[in-house]
A and B are shown apart, each in its own frame.
Chain A
Amino acid sequence: MGAWARPYRAVFRARFHLLVQYRAAALAGFATQCWWGAIKVMVFAAFLRGAVASPMTLREAVDYIWLGQAFLTLLPWTADPELARMVRTGDVAYERLRPLDTYAFWYARAVARRTATPLLRAIPMVLTAGVLLPLAGLGTWGLAGPDGAPAAALFAVSMVICVALSSAFSTLLDTMVVALLSERGVNTIMGPLAIVFSGNLVPLPLLLDWLQPLMRYQPFAGLLDTPFRIYSGHLRGLDAAAALGRQAFWVVALVLVGRLLMGRVMSRLQTQGG
């Protein structure tokens, strides 16, 4: 990468190092997510016990749930609180003074946020669900390994695109905060949308059949649903490739929309405060 990328790499590194300091918060989150994961696993197992036919096996559903708990903070459900504060105080004007591309700068910040926090939480979660539970003889209820080497490789690719997609969503939210002058509305609407349509609430394949085409093509599917289904082998071969393509498409589309919106918002930026 050339010299032009240096400031963006620098802000990524600085934010990443800052965010991995919040270990106590990650630990509290980890305890909560274990509890939630355990409840969800038991509820889904109970539903599946009496089911005649199911679009997902218990194994696939359990993996999906634990991965969902591990990567919960990868979901773009809130705008960057620090940028929101800058908008309130008027400090956002300084962001415009930098001889940099503001979109790319904020995007780099978002990438740090969508990697540092999820990593802190995913490591203990994966160790607990994937190592401790099987060691305790509760492997049926824990996280199994990926469905073979190809699935593992595709999962890794899909997770990288997932970070790119989540960061594009986050930057779009940040830009909307600048336009609306407050993060409250954006966060209130985005939270439920992300939880429902990413599959975090209920794995998307378990929703009603007539909803499936809609679920497949909407942008949130690329956040959790796609990588998790590749991991457990629920999506394979051409289906997996097509899902990766849709994921990548939404990254490009959201970056373009985000840039367009930022151009409009920033050209008539009114700063508050003093």
Chain B
Amino acid sequence: MNAIRLYGRYISASFRSQMQYPGSFLLTSAGAFVAPGIDFIAVWALFSRFRQIEGWQFGEVALFYGVIGVAFAVADGLTRGFDIFGEEFVKTGDFDRLLVRPRSTVLQLLGYELRATRIGRLVQAALAWALAVHLTGIAWTWRVWAILMFAVAGGAALFAGILVLQATLAFWTVESLEIANTLTYGGVEAAQYPLDIYARWFRNFLTFVVPLGCVSFFPVAVVLGRADRTGVAPALALLAPSLGFVFFGVSLWIWRFGVRHYTSTGS
């Protein structure tokens, strides 16, 4: 069986098992809808008081918010295996079992669980996106959709990379460190506003170290007709989300380094 078909099997099994508890599924999804919705209330409340932030309007910020929210929801739904890697695999020694199977550990961990309840977060971010479509009055051509889908894909790859790095750390720390939350949840928090409102050191960090700004700020600014605010040529801005894939690739390379240094807890 090839990897893609195997992954499909994993996912459908995971999905069916979650659907055995429809009540729990609905409630958890509703929770995933409400929690990030609070952040959007904050954005709305501040805009209703101040009208604009450094010349950006509410509809425009809603698009930044929607794009990064959808990207994170996708990554968060797919990478559950890496998220709980420390507790469920390293601490228990269960990672040994993954190593003896004739398939890559990355594939097995990706297939560990499809967190279907993240649909709540996805819908919430998509609604903000729809609101942005309604408010900004931009022509929503195929070109625009292609740019934004590339941004979402790059963003999802970046968040997945952060979660892989968090899991890799667990080879040494045994427990999953919540410090990665500053880059995942905290990253969503930061990238829901246009990058150019932040201080220079923070902007540089989000461009060159953890390229959260590259996956959403640059392409979305071009779509909004505000390429001048990015400080780079539009063509370069449109290519920026590919840094998300580079980040994911680097994190997989570090992951392999971690696997080689894995010592079982023996429990």
**CB pair A208 B31 closer than 8 Å:** no
**CB pair B38 A196 closer than 8 Å:** yes
Give the complex CA separation of A263 and B53 in angstroms: 51
> Of B31, B45, B50, which one neighbours A54 at CB under 8 angstroms?
B50
| Interface SS, B side | helix
B250 within 8 A of partner (CB): no
Residues of B within 8 A of A208 (CB): 45, 48-49
**CB pair A46 B197 closer than 8 Å:** yes
**CB pair A50 B53 closer than 8 Å:** yes
Name the residue among B46, B50, B53, B186 with the largest chain A CB count within 10 angstroms: B50
Give the complex CA separation of A201 and B181 in angstroms: 18
Residues of A within 8 A of B15 (CB): none
**CB pair A28 B186 closer than 8 Å:** no
User: What is the distance, in angstroms, from B235's C-beta to the closest C-beta of chain A?
Assistant: 28
Contact with B along A189-224 (1 / 0, CB 8 A): 001100110000110001110000000000000000
Contact with A along B231-246 (1 / 0, CB 8 A): 0000000000000000
Give the complex CA separation of A195 and B54 in angstroms: 26
Give the complex CA separation of A44 and B47 in angstroms: 11
**CB pair A36 B189 closer than 8 Å:** yes
Interface residues of A in 43-99 (CB under 8 A from B): 43-44, 46-51, 54
User: What is the distance, in angstroms, from A61's C-beta to the closest C-beta of chain B?
Assistant: 11
Residues of A within 8 A of B35 (CB): 191-192
A39 within 8 A of partner (CB): yes
B209 within 8 A of partner (CB): no
Residues of A within 8 A of B178 (CB): 28, 32
**CB pair B53 A201 closer than 8 Å:** no
B182 within 8 A of partner (CB): yes
Give the complex CA separation of A188 and B29 in angstroms: 12
**CB pair B53 A47 closer than 8 Å:** yes
**CB pair B31 A188 closer than 8 Å:** yes
Residues of B within 8 A of A192 (CB): 34-35, 38
B64 within 8 A of partner (CB): no
**CB pair B38 A46 closer than 8 Å:** no
User: What is the distance, in angstroms, from B236's C-beta to the closest C-beta of chain A?
Assistant: 25
> Of B31, B48, B52, which one neighbours A50 at CB under 8 angstroms?
B52
User: What is the distance, in angstroms, from A117's C-beta to the closest C-beta of chain B?
Assistant: 15
Residues of A within 8 A of B198 (CB): 39, 42, 46
Return the chain B residue nearest A193 by Cβ: B38
> Of A49, A191, A202, which one neighbours B46 at CB under 8 angstroms?
A202
Give the complex CA separation of A140 and B42 in angstroms: 23
Interface residues of A in 141-200 (CB under 8 A from B): 188, 191-192, 195-196
**Known contacts A35-B186, A36-B186; is-contact A28 B38 (Cβ 8 Å):** no
Return the chain A residue nearest B35 by Cβ: A192
Given contacts A43-B53, A192-B38, A208-B48, 15 further A-B contacts (CB under 8 A): A28-B178, A28-B179, A32-B179, A32-B181, A32-B182, A39-B186, A39-B190, A47-B50, A47-B53, A50-B52, A50-B54, A54-B50, A201-B41, A202-B46, A208-B49
**11 A-B pairs with C-beta separation under 8 A:** A32-B179, A42-B197, A44-B46, A46-B53, A46-B193, A46-B197, A48-B50, A50-B50, A50-B54, A195-B38, A201-B41
